[in-house]
Amino acid sequence: QQPVQSPQAVILREGEDAVINCSSSKALYSVHWYRQKHGEAPVFLMILLKGGEQKGHDKISASFNEKKQQSSLYLTASQLSYSGTYFCGTESDDYKLSFGAGTTVTVRA
Amino acid sequence: NAGVTQTPKFQVLKTGQSMTLQCAQDMNHNSMYWYRQDPGMGLRLIYYSASEGTTDKGEVPNGYNVSRLNKREFSLRLESAAPSQTSVYFCASILFGSSYEQYFGPGTRLTVT
């Protein structure tokens, strides 16, 4: 079953922060985050493992609450290059990933 | 995208025709995946291969077959194409472990008329 992402879209000005949420109805082993620019392939950002700590990638970080089966992606001091669609992927069975519908982030100057 | 290649990049088929999408990776990853992405939607898993010699169904396997030819190559076959299979198809390879890696291929845009 696919995870649910919120919000569907967010518009930011450069320097502003945003949070994207991902929740699943199944117990999760790991959560993966990706960014996809229009017309391009998704790019893997980070993985959060069950029992692991919060991860970071430049000014993009994420957390994973195993008990609530939720993950959040934090965009801090957003830059124009952060624009794109962000997907979470959840792994509940070995090696099998399910993706959310995506959150479109638009960063304006 | 480092190390994952897909062919062809574009394809137009007529209903009922068959074709094979090719994917290859040169990073020695064990696991490979096929996804489809419809406009404005997330990725849906078609089939995956956790390791050489194994394949398993994902969320939307109907109308597709796969072959893990060797560790490098994972192909996706449409036996009798239908308009509902019009989509962008992405192949991905993953290295699970302490040094986790994951890369997607550039995609194949398939139109079935």
The model's pLDDT over A33-62, given as tens digits with 9 standing for 90+, comes to: 999 999 999 999 999 988 766 666 678 999
Residue A102's pLDDT is 95
pLDDT at B96: 81
**pLDDT of amino acid A10:** 97
Give the pLDDT score at A72. Answer: 95
Distances (CA, A) of A108 to A16, A83, A84, A103, B16: 10, 9, 12, 16, 46
Q: Calculate how close chain A gets to B36, using CA atoms only, in Å.
A: 11
Q: From chain B, pick out residues whose CB is under 8 angstroms from the CB of A89.
A: 43
With an 8 Å Cβ cutoff, are A42 and B105 in contact?
no
Cross-chain residue pair B43–A32, CB shorter than 8 Å: no
DSSP structure string for A21-81: EEE-SS--SEEEEEEE-TTS--EEEEEEETTPPPEEETTEEEEEETTTTEEEEEE-S--GG
Residue B44 in contact with partner chain A when CB distance is under 8 A: yes
From residue B19, alpha-carbon distances to A10, B56, B63, B76, B110 in Å are: 39, 20, 12, 8, 10
What is the rounded distance in angstroms from the CA atom of residue A18 to the CA atom of residue A100?
A: 18
The 10s digit of each residue's pLDDT in B30-49 is 999 999 999 878 899 999 99
Q: Which residues of chain B have pLDDT under 50?
A: 1
Query: Which residues on B lie below 8 Å from A96 (Cβ)?
Result: 45, 48, 56, 58
Residue type present at position A75: L
pLDDT of residue B80: 96
Q: What mean pLDDT is predicted for residues A76-96? A: 90
pLDDT band at A96, cuts 50/70/90?
A: confident
pLDDT tens for residues A3-28?
A: 999 999 999 999 999 999 999 998 88
Burial-class residue A5 by CB neighbours within 10 Å (0-12, 13-18, 19+).
buried
Let me know if B88 is exposed, middle or buried by CB neighbors in 10 A (0-12, 13-18, 19+). Answer: middle
Q: What is the pLDDT of residue A21?
A: 97
Q: Do B43 and A99 touch (CB under 8 A)?
A: yes
Note the pLDDT of residue B40: 77
pLDDT of residue A2: 87
